[in-house]
Amino acid sequence: MTDNFKYATKLFGSATFSFLKINILGQLLVFALSLTTLLIFLFQSANGSGAPGGLAIIPITIILFFERPIGFTLIALSIFANPFILLSFGNKYIISKTIHKLLSDKGETLLFPIIEKVLGKIKTNQPELLKKGTDTTKLKLKLIQEISDSKDNNKWLKKIIIYGLKKANLDDVDFSDEKLSFTDIVKNKTISGLKEISEPSRNFYWIILGIQILLLILISTRMI
C-alpha cells in the first residue's frame, strides 16, 4: 500500500509538473511571441500610413484591418485562439503521457479500487443497469458520472479511468450472466481502452510555436 502511494505521488507529481510547464511556461512563451508580433504591427502602422492619433479603439481597429487585413486577422486569431488550443492539446498530451507511463510500469492496479467502489455502488443502488439488454451507453455514462462526482479519489486517476471508459466497448457483454464478474469485465475493458490511446507527442506545441514564429517573420517583413 505504501509503495502504491509513493508511486502514485511520483507519477501524478510528474503529471502536475508537465501541466504547469505547458500551461504556464508554454502559454507565456506563445503569448510573448503574439504580443511582440502585435507591437511590431502597431509600430509599423504608426510609422506608415496608419491611423491618425486621437481616434477611439474601434475606429482604429477598423482602419488597421482594412490597411492589412490578412496580418491583422492572423494576429487577432493567434492572440485569442492560441491559449485555448494550447490548453486543449496540452491537457490531452499530459493525460496520454501519464497513461502510457502508468501502463508501462504495470501500475494499473491503482485504478482498480476506484472502479470497484463505483461498480459496487451502482450494483447496490441501480441493479437494473446490469440486466440483460441494458443500454451500455447509459451504463457507461452512469459510470463516468459516478467517478466524476467521487470526492475521495485522485483527480488524475479519475481522468484516466474516464478516458478508458469512453473507449471501452461493453456492447458484447451479457451482464445477466451470473458466471461473469461484472467488476473484472469493466476493469479489463477500461484497461484495454487505455491501451488504445495513441503515443504521447509534443508536436502540437512545436507546430503552434512554429506558426507563431512564422507569423512574426511575415509581419516584420510586411509580407502580410
Q: State the cell numbers at 157.
A: 486517476
pLDDT at 189 (0 to 100) = 83
pLDDT at 215 (0 to 100) = 93
pLDDT at 216 (0 to 100) = 92
DSSP H helices in 1-104? 2-20, 27-46, 57-67, 69-104
Q: State the cell numbers at 175.
A: 451482464
Buried/exposed 51-83: b ≥16 CB within 10 Å, e otherwise: beeeeeeeebeebbeebbeebbebbeebeeebb
pTM: 0.71
pLDDT at 110 (0 to 100) = 77
- Where do the structural domains in the chain lie, given as residue ranges? 2-105+200-220, 108-195
> 32-80, pLDDT tens digit by residue?
999 999 888 888 877 655 444 544 455 667 777 777 888 888 988 888 8
Q: For Cα atoms 114, 192, 177, give the angle at the middle one, nearest 5 degrees.
A: 75
The C-alpha cell 508501462 sits at 104
pLDDT at 67 (0 to 100) = 79
Low-confidence ranges of the chain (pLDDT < 70): 1-4, 47-60, 126-135, 152-153, 174-178, 198
